[in-house]
A and B are shown apart, each in its own frame.
Chain A
């Protein structure tokens, strides 16, 4: 089965650090747009990931 290794890493890291990320993101002193910063990081990560060909691509 072809599983993108970077995706696995992404899923693992997200799972491990989810509580910390959640606390950081939703702490009351932070700016309201903080979740969007994280979202932007995900977009950049996805852009970086798609540059290499997907294994299931035809």
Chain B
């Protein structure tokens, strides 16, 4: 049975068109998202690992190495079963920093464009044998189906033109669906679904071959078992090569391949952002590979039983042809075709991205054109690279001319990519690793690999000294690839470690190592940016990206972070910068993105470069909370408890970094200021909504650690009164200041209310005296008015009028005094300091007190200097003296009660002493007399507010009050209340 070339060609086109259709339907959303986004699709797309090696190569491997062929799968199985060690950390890195390839990861970790370029070049070279392998499988299969199998075995001419045609079709498909999204941030649904579909096709085809082998060749499983019993040498071959270094090295090679091979990396990380999908893959992919590997041994044994003359890799085709069955032949061909096409598409796509990001863009800046965004240029560059890579693979295939078996080609490619394993392992686990060590290690490992494997593959000879070296080291028993893999990996790792230890690791690398490290949360530093608003970012980036692209990227980052364009908070701007760099990294690669951001939006060099971004660290810890276990969980709970305590504190608390950035703002601060923490955290203190920013800033940079009573005038609404305390926290580079804000507005209003009530109470007490005082002149006026009615003498009338005026003057004076005293109230709470004559004020107070007729007779003696002027609110000072003199009078006995008021000027202060010869105040009570509602008087006799108000008023007037008792020996020890007031003059105040 054979097929014509036209038939085979049509079949290939039909199959790939079907694949196009699947990708197109998925891209258009015609295949529902619940299918395309299902974890099973992701798991199946990872089946790209099983390329033509899985459909064909492993059959020869099974024939040659027995059960060792399973190691090809088990390496990957092991990598996914222990995904927590490497895959999850890598997924985290790739997702957060938009890294799409191994070169991106290593460039990010080692902060060097050179690393990216070196890894890309090395990767392209190591992958050539793998690409050639895929092309060879399809080309040879076409050859066999066309009926030229015998020529294949005898090394006859090959259908290179058909292979070229196949490459062209694959190139078109790769370009159409692989470059739909320029950024690696978006999942390429069409590609993922198509590759998953190919994995299903591959599995189905191999299962058909299994059934064909078991039921058509061996007459069922019993027949197979019987045949094995009859051929013990076949069964014995299964275990013959399992011991020795081969197995271990093979396991390591394929274990490394699961993360180092660019096509697997691309499907695992670039096309997936969801860790749930990777979780499914930890068991899903091993299950898929188990099913995929099941048919291999029966197919290989069927091939042996048939005794066909084709290479063992094509036993599937041999079965179909032996049975003369078109479906079985087609299944065998489709298995190889689907495996090869999937591998070529994803590998070249991944390599094209790497070449673009690490070879093209760093050397050739994009042309900034207003009409054409850089996205279009990137698409075309990527398309060109895909074409170049597939053609390179074809040229390498033609160069090989079928001299090598599929398994040899696969081992060369996998051993080459094995050289990247030390770098990958060091990324999350070894912070001391540096770029010099990595490059030297890679050069050593790849050098050995090139001379020992790649050169002989391409027709060259291995240097004799290398052959001698292998014999010296490992003896004659080892196979060449085992020796090369072992020596190259050991040399690579040793050079990497030694050079890393001997050379300096840059600061940038250390920061990146911390970010990549699994046992550390990223420790972001709080550096100062050179831009001050989100809108400035576009202008800064425009020279590198073009105006339109810069606008698009900034808006995208703002949208992702849910910030607005007028954002000015330094914390927010730092996050915006990091987000834009991550997004650009997905677009242009980490090296170019880092260079653009460093050049256009640099941090200002300064003292705060090493200050940790506490707010961001806390945010990261909050997000990572479910991850903590054991002691870490306890510490996190403790942190949360302290955080909650601070947040719920009934006193406002805020923390300000040494650069003036707000690090903490608790709920009480929100209640006091009306500003939510989310609006201010990360802002500079001075930029907070007035008047709070200015108030806090003034206090922060002021000398005093305490501001007892500060009025904050708010635009809308009544003023607020606050007490401020601050304390510095010195933690080296993380020094900050904590400000406690106590809202005393209610207390202040209550105090005003009490003052008013006390004044009213005083007026009430004085009312009787006032009535009496007014009553006397009024009676006099009434008498004079009666006499006036009958008086006709003009002279008498004039005298009487003068008397009436005198009496009314007296009434007026009494009323004025009372009015003066009762003038202020809660509505005029503001203290108006003005020059006030001290002696006059004392006189006024004495006069008012003397109106109280029910009070004890007391001798008030005002000895104050008549010239002394103090800076005070006259009405409040009057209240002070009324309270003090009233208390003094109450403390005195009725006999010989004397109260003296004296003044003394001390510098720019005036000291006023009010002394009585009353009963005095015991020392143990002196500390309490200024407390509100404290009184020693009989119930109902006093409110207990007098001295408290005196204290409060004196503070308001920038004065002080002190108490001293006793001041003399004897029965009446007396009390001295001393007031200190600022001295002034009328002229000075006017100036």
Contact = CB atoms under 8 A, between A and B. Distances in A.
A11 B81 CA distance: 11
A1 B283 contact: no
Given A53-B626, A57-B279, A46 B84 contact: no
Given A7-B84, A35-B70, A55-B84, A43 B279 contact: no
25 contacts: A1-B519, A3-B84, A3-B85, A26-B238, A26-B242, A28-B232, A28-B235, A28-B239, A35-B70, A36-B290, A36-B293, A36-B294, A39-B70, A42-B77, A43-B286, A47-B283, A49-B282, A53-B626, A54-B84, A56-B518, A57-B279, A58-B92, A58-B95, A58-B96, A58-B623
B283 A50 contact: yes
Interface of A: 1-4, 7, 10-11, 22, 26, 28, 31-33, 35-36, 39-40, 42-47, 49-50, 53-58
B85 A7 contact: yes
A39 B77 CA distance: 9
Contacts of B282: 46, 49-50
B242 A39 contact: no
Q: Which of B89, B232, B283, B293 has the most CB of A within 10 A?
A: B283
A6 B239 CA distance: 30
A39 B232 CA distance: 24
Interface string B84-114: 1100110010011000000000000000000
A2 B627 contact: yes
Interface of B is mostly: helix
B296 to A, nearest CB: 11
A56 to B, nearest CB: 4
Q: Which of B80, B225, B287 has the most CB of A within 10 A?
A: B287
Contacts of B623: 58
Given A32-B297, A56-B88, A56-B627, 13 more contacts: A2-B519, A10-B82, A35-B67, A36-B290, A36-B294, A39-B74, A43-B286, A44-B283, A46-B80, A54-B88, A54-B275, A55-B84, A57-B275
A56 B89 contact: yes
Which 5 pairs, one residue from A and one from B, show the smallest C-beta to C-beta distance?
Answer: A1-B519, A46-B283, A47-B283, A56-B88, A26-B239
Contacts of B519: 1-2
Contacts, number: 90
B83 interface: yes
Contacts of A1: 518-519
A53 B88 CA distance: 11
B280 interface: yes
B287 A56 contact: no
A50 B83 CA distance: 10
Q: Which of A4, A10, A46 has the most CB of B within 10 A?
A: A46
B228 interface: yes
A11 to B, nearest CB: 8
A30 to B, nearest CB: 10
Interface residues of B, number: 40
Interface string B260-304: 000000000000000100011011001100100110010000000
A43 B287 contact: yes
Contacts of B70: 35, 39
Contacts of B80: 46
Contacts of A39: 70, 74, 77, 286, 290
Contacts of A32: 228, 235, 238, 297
B629 interface: yes
Contacts of A31: 225
B468 interface: no
A4 B242 contact: no
Nearest to A7: B82
B283 A55 contact: no
B236 interface: yes
A7 B84 CA distance: 8
Interface in B229-247: 232, 235-236, 238-239, 242
B96 A56 contact: no
Contacts of A3: 84-85
B405 to A, nearest CB: 24
A40 B291 CA distance: 10
A46 B239 contact: no
Q: Which of A4, A31, A40, A54 has the most CB of B within 10 A?
A: A54
Contacts of A26: 67, 238-239, 242
Nearest to B281: A50
A42 B81 contact: yes
Contacts of B294: 33, 36
A57 B297 CA distance: 38
Given A28-B239, A36-B294, A54-B275, A46 B81 contact: yes
A4 to B, nearest CB: 4
A57 B77 contact: no
A55 B428 CA distance: 14
A42 B284 CA distance: 11
Contacts of A36: 290, 293-294
Nearest to A52: B279
A46 B235 contact: no
B286 A46 contact: yes
A23 B92 CA distance: 40
B285 to A, nearest CB: 9
A54 B235 contact: no
Nearest to B80: A46
A28 B280 contact: no
A42 B290 CA distance: 11
Nearest to A58: B92
B303 to A, nearest CB: 15
Contacts of A49: 81, 282-283
B83 A54 contact: yes
Nearest to B247: A22
Contacts of A7: 81-82, 84-85
Contact of A56 (B82, B92, B236): B92
Contact of A42 (B67, B92, B286, B626): B286
Contacts of B82: 7, 10-11
Contact of A57 (B96, B232, B627, B629): B627
Nearest to B520: A1
Contacts of A44: 283
A42 B77 CA distance: 9
A54 B279 contact: yes
B559 to A, nearest CB: 20
A1 B67 CA distance: 36
A40 B290 contact: yes
A35 B275 CA distance: 30
Interface string B624-651: 0011010000000000000000000000
Q: Which of B89, B95, B627 has the most CB of A within 10 A?
A: B627
A26 B294 CA distance: 16
Contacts of A54: 83-84, 88, 275, 279
Interface in B69-83: 70, 74, 77, 80-83
Nearest to A56: B88
A41 to B, nearest CB: 11
B77 A28 contact: no
A46 B278 CA distance: 12
B428 to A, nearest CB: 9
Given A28-B236, A28-B239, A58 B77 contact: no
Contact of B283 (A4, A43, A53, A56): A43
Contacts of B627: 2, 53, 55-57
Contacts of B85: 3, 7
Nearest to A14: B78
Interface in B943-986: none
A56 B84 contact: yes
A14 to B, nearest CB: 10
B985 to A, nearest CB: 72
A31 B225 CA distance: 8
A21 B142 CA distance: 42
Contacts of A58: 92, 95-96, 275, 623
Nearest to B84: A4
